[in-house]
Amino acid sequence: MDTKSKELFEAAKRHIPGGVNSPVRAFGAVGRTPRFIASAHGSRITDVDGNEMIDYVCSWGPCILGHAHPRVIEAVIRACRDGLTFGAPTKREAELAELIAELMPSMEESRLVNSGTEAVMSAVRLARGFTGRDKIVKFKGCYHGHSDGLLVKAGSGALTSSVPDSAGVLADNAKNTLIAQYNDRASVEKLFSEHADRIAAVLVEPVAANMGVILPAREFLSFLRRITRQNGALLIFDEVITGFRLSLGGAQEYFHVTPDLTTLGKIAGGGMPIGVYGGKREIMELVAPAGPVYQAGTLSGNPVATAAGLETLRILQEDPGIYERLERKTGQLAAAVNKAAKGTVCVNQIGSLMSVFFTEGSVTDYERAVSSDTGRYAAYFGELLDRGIYTAPSQFEAMFVSDAHTAEDIAYTCRVMEEALSKEKESL
């Protein structure tokens, strides 16, 4: 039953656009009413109607330890007792920056902000300030937050300057954003051949996770490292999702490719709002007040968020075996889908990230991702939800596994997914 959720949704729509504070939460793509969540512990979330569900959204990634981990909660409570915000330096923000530098050596210096959007926006500004160039290369289907210059996609041609992808974004805000195809070296080479001396940076999700999970092709990230270095441009890894999730050192450690700048979020805040951008000292020293690239924020380095982030990263550091466990659990889910679907869907999985695309053949880029049958996905989503499994309410989002998911959780989910896909396959 979702009676209370329906009532709350209708009430919310009176004062919140669409009834939600982030579009995907509206469940519009799956034709359902959003579940309003009352509480979450471990691998489970409970909605206002009392429905308990195994959660594979994990707040879109940060809950790698599961919900309400006792040590993280205690760290937050201790921090709250000392005050919620000061707008002044604290010891913990310096400690968090130091720990990030230890875990991700490419981030010699970093600046704490309040969201992934803010981190990427600031990193792009810094790249332009450092290089003295204006253009940024991004990839079609990769999402880097909702700042004006990045809310763009390819226009009539995939290799041209982009047009705005949202009302309210001016063409002038988008004209310096160039669009390439993820996993397509030729598209990147063409942009450099035409704009080499004007490209400040290439911005990429090292593992695309906002058009569904799409893995980088072999040597694709190494290629991006080479072409940027050869042309005097910076390489920016948007690790808002992959940071501390693929490995303790993020995607850059996982793939052995070192970017010039990195953006983080999600896990770095342990479930509290945070964003981070950082990189080589010579680049970061251009950020105000050390240099001329301005960026500021009253709540940046918030003492509660840094407490949650520090404790989460320390737990991960103490238990590096978590990544093997996460890989094993997620691999079990992927195997169950493949067994039941027998080629009627595509499963992409890496570490604790996974997507089921309702299309045949491999999914390696945006065009293949959007060939998915969203109606089939909606039916699959609904079947899982009705049986107590909470997954992303969109074909084009990731499934996240946490360390709190038990063997029983995984076994039950495998069974339900197999049955849902077998049922779906019979109806084709």
Contact status, residue 219 vs residue 185, Cβ threshold 8 Å: no
Between β-strands 135-139 and 199-204, what pairing exists: parallel, antiparallel or unpaired? parallel
> 161: pLDDT confidence band, cut at 50, 70 and 90?
very low
143 is catalytic: yes
Residue type, 146: H
CATH topology of 3-68+321-427 equal to that of 70-318?
A: no
Confidence at residue 424, expressed as pLDDT on a 0 to 100 scale: 76
> 162: pLDDT confidence band, cut at 50, 70 and 90?
very low
User: Sign of torsion, CA 380 384 385 387?
Assistant: positive
- Enter the DSSP assignment of 204: E
pLDDT over threshold 90, residue 402: yes
Q: What is the DSSP string of 98-112?
A: HHHHHHSTT-SEEEE
Mean pLDDT (whole number) for 232-249: 98
Residue with the bigger pLDDT between 117 and 320: it is: 117
Of the residues 143, 182, 377, 390, only one is catalytic, namely 143
Cis peptide before 289 (omega within 30 of 0): yes
- The pTM assigned to this predicted structure is 0.95
47 is catalytic: no
Q: C-alpha distances in angstroms, 362 versus 265, 343, 345, 349? A: 29, 10, 9, 12
Q: C-alpha distances in angstroms, 178 versus 156, 212, 228, 370? A: 13, 22, 14, 21
Q: What is the DSSP string of 140-182?
A: TT----S-GGGSEE--SSTTSB-EESSTT--HHHHTTEEEE-T
* Gyration radius of the chain over CA positions: 21
> 166: pLDDT confidence band, cut at 50, 70 and 90?
confident
Instruction: Determine how many CB atoms are found less than 10 A away from the CB of residue 129.
Output: 17
380 is catalytic: no
Of the residues 2, 47, 184, 238, only one is catalytic, namely 238
Of the residues 135, 138, 266, 329, only one is catalytic, namely 266
Instruction: In whole angstroms, give the CA distance from residue 62 to residue 69.
Output: 12
pLDDT over threshold 70, residue 165: no
> 287: pLDDT confidence band, cut at 50, 70 and 90?
very high
The top-level CATH class assigned to 3-68+321-427 is: alpha beta
pLDDT over threshold 70, residue 228: yes
Q: What is the mean pLDDT of the chain?
A: 94
CATH placement of domain 70-318: 3.40.640.10
The domain locations on the chain are 3-68+321-427, 70-318
